Amino acid sequence: MSAPRVYLHALGMINALGHDAHSIVASLAAGVAPGMQPVQSQLGDAFVGRVHTPLDLAPPDALAAYDCRNNRLLLSALAQIRPAIDAASARFGAHRIGVVLGTSTSGVGAAEAALAHRARTGELAGEFDYRQMEIGTAAPFAAAALGVKGPAYTISTACTSSAKAMISARRLLTLGFCDAVVAGGVDSLCELTLQGFSALDSTSPVRMNPMSRTRSGINIGEGAAVFLMSRDEAPVALVGAGESSDAHHISSPDPEGAGGEIALRNALRDAGLDSRTIGYVNLHATATVKNDQMEARLMSRVFPGGVPTSGTKPLTGHTLGAAGATELGLCWLALARDDVALPRHLWDGDADPELPVLDLVSEERYLSRGTDTQYVMSNSFAFGGSNASLILGR
């Protein structure tokens, strides 16, 4: 007997494109990203994806110790789907609603500010609490803020964190442990990631340029993306998922993308699909020399006939632990709404002759509505050879 299918009912999202689905769709249509901008970091010039919307939502009084930018980003995304969460809780019971979130920074930015305060004054900032930066607190914090009582845990596998959270949430539903799950990811800008990726020579001081001959690295971003998932039918389903862990190197991908290819093929097998049925692929596309090389090679093998693709990190920045859910959210919008075009691939058009040619979406293009079902794929690759591939169906 096949496992029951799970569906994505509601999406809350905030990033450099906008503060909710409506503003993000408008930015996508215009091909602009208001929050992508140059900044000055402690190591010099950088280019980042920043959320500029005021984050006015604070945790409830009982959770005040957890108040930090990362958790306010999370609360902003959760508020957008709170009615759907409350309805599910009322229907199934709070103990049947789970929360699985991915993050890689948690509230490290709050710790940086507290330590800077101590360097100036000799004492940590009074509002700082260690729990703000504890990597595992995102999901339990969200569960407490929402008043749900089901399983709540955080996944941190670098840039696949929130993609893995989606897969884990799906398992909770198919195994019957939950009737609905809040799943996604959140990360916020901080010097730790800016300096860390800079130390790896992986950041670009200008807007990132994926798949280009002149690509020079990533732009770090921040944001949150959360879904409400359940077994109740909805227009968009999570039909397939694939994972692998090739452990090729602590920070460099396998040059040929063998582990990534396993994840993509596992997702197709899980969905019962041939690669020719996929209508669009959201690339990981970090604009680093090695990642884009690896990804272009594996894409040419899995999709030998070609498929429309784009890398959306020039629009959001690389939101790290939130990237998988953020990019899945852009896929969800293209499936759920007929008026949303496929995300464009923003780059200089100077193709790298060393890479296989990909069908990069550079103009307004929509999913074909000529068939009953459309499928899209979103891929994430991370340090340590952690790979994840997700397939949505409409």
Residues 77 and 13: beta-carbon distance below 8 Å: yes
Instruction: Extract the tokens encoding 79.
Output: 């508020």
Residues 342 and 361: beta-carbon distance below 8 Å: yes
Q: Angle CA(119)–CA(123)–CA(125) in degrees, nearest 5? A: 95
- The four Cα atoms 203, 204, 210, 214 give a dihedral, to 10 degrees, of -120
- The four Cα atoms 285, 17, 242, 351 give a dihedral, to 10 degrees, of -20
Q: Does 68 qualify as catalytic in the annotation?
A: no
Q: Does 284 qualify as catalytic in the annotation?
A: yes
Q: Give me the catalytic one of 9, 19, 248, 318.
A: 318
| Cβ neighbours, 10 Å, residue 353 | 7
Task: Report in angstroms the alpha-carbon separations of 367 from 118, 273, 292.
Answer: 53, 17, 24
Beta-carbon contacts of 9 under 8 Å, excluding residues fewer than 6 positions away, are 84, 227, 228, 229, 230, 232, 234
Q: Give me the catalytic one of 19, 248, 284, 345.
A: 284
Q: Give me the catalytic one of 159, 178, 190, 331.
A: 159
Q: Does 331 qualify as catalytic in the annotation?
A: no
Question: Distance (Å, rounded) from C-alpha 225 to C-alpha 246?
Answer: 27
Residues classed as catalytic: 159, 284, 318
